Copies of this chain bind each other. A is one copy, B any other.
Amino acid sequence: MSQRTVFFVSDQTGVTAETMGHSLLTQFEGLTFRTVTLPFVASVTKAAEARARINAASEADGLQAIVFSTLIQDDLRVEVKAANAVFLDFFDAFLGPLEAALGVASSHAAGRAHGMANAEVYAARINATNFALANDDGGHTRDYDSADVILVGVSRSGKTPTCLYMALQYGIHAANYPLTEDDLESLRLPSALASHRARLFGLTIEPDRLQQIRNERRPDSRYSSAQQVAFEVRQAEALFHRLAIPYLDTTHCSVEEIGSRIVHSAGIHRRLHP
């Protein structure tokens, strides 16, 4: 059976169109699609090229392509919409109702300035990324006074990617500190953390999954043994309970979900807002 082609068309990066299309398509179980992203479609010439590519795919597949689009300029949208395809445009769907509700016309202009000025957003993300890098893995603890959150957990529980994601997405200054065997045996916080109790957030993970992750890194080592992994996870969770540190099981969570749950459950002040 022929496979249908899905296009993500945008005058910007295409990330929003991809996210939107992906969450809709996953609602159709069993169907598979070929996906093509066409970003930076910001001129009529580019839009005409996009239309030609879409038409070619519909013809080759013998099935109409599906187009998820986030084209804000009317002339570009009209051009791409003329393709032989199922056309679903984000602004088409929502801008009209929103204009009616707000009682004003929108500007229909691409790449609008964000709520925060771009240079400000840039600085906030760079500063947060630098903070996460400098304060990764307990290497550096002097900046903990200015941390928005300090993640604690055993090795490979997901601390580093979560800190980086929170930096890029929310501008949050997130440090992380690995719990060592000494900490886990004594069920005490390392001294670097003792005065920062209110900023701590724990990550845990199911032992089976942790063993699998560690085994990819150092196969057949003590580090990845069932016994060691079970011990570390049990003790880490005991420590979180004992000190009333809020924590989250990351086993079945994406990095986005871990980040979002921490921000909302710990009530952390975001430095970047939608």
Contact = CB atoms under 8 A, between A and B. Distances in A.
- A contact residues, range: 35 or more
Contacts of A22: 114-115, 274
A257 interface: yes
Contacts of A23: 16, 70, 72, 90
Contacts of A133: 133, 136, 160
Interface in A162-207: 164-165, 168-169
B264 A39 contact: yes
Nearest to A136: B133
Given A16-B20, A23-B70, A90-B20, A104 B31 contact: yes
A29 to B, nearest CB: 6
Contact of A8 (B18, B93, B108, B274): B274
Contacts of A66: 98, 101
A1 interface: no
Interface stretch (A43-51, A120-128, A145-153, A235-243): A120-128
Interface string A5-20: 0001000111110111
A245 interface: no
A161 interface: yes
Interface string A75-117: 0000000000010101101110110011010111100111100
Given A12-B257, A15-B256, A35 B274 contact: yes
Nearest to A29: B107
A108 to B, nearest CB: 7
A40 B273 CA distance: 18
Interface of A: 8, 12-16, 18-29, 31-32, 35, 37, 39-40, 64, 66, 70, 72, 86, 88, 90-91, 93-95, 97-98, 101-102, 104, 106-109, 112-115, 118, 121-123, 125-126, 129-130, 133, 136, 158, 160-161, 164-165, 168-169, 213, 216, 252, 254-257, 259-261, 264, 273-274
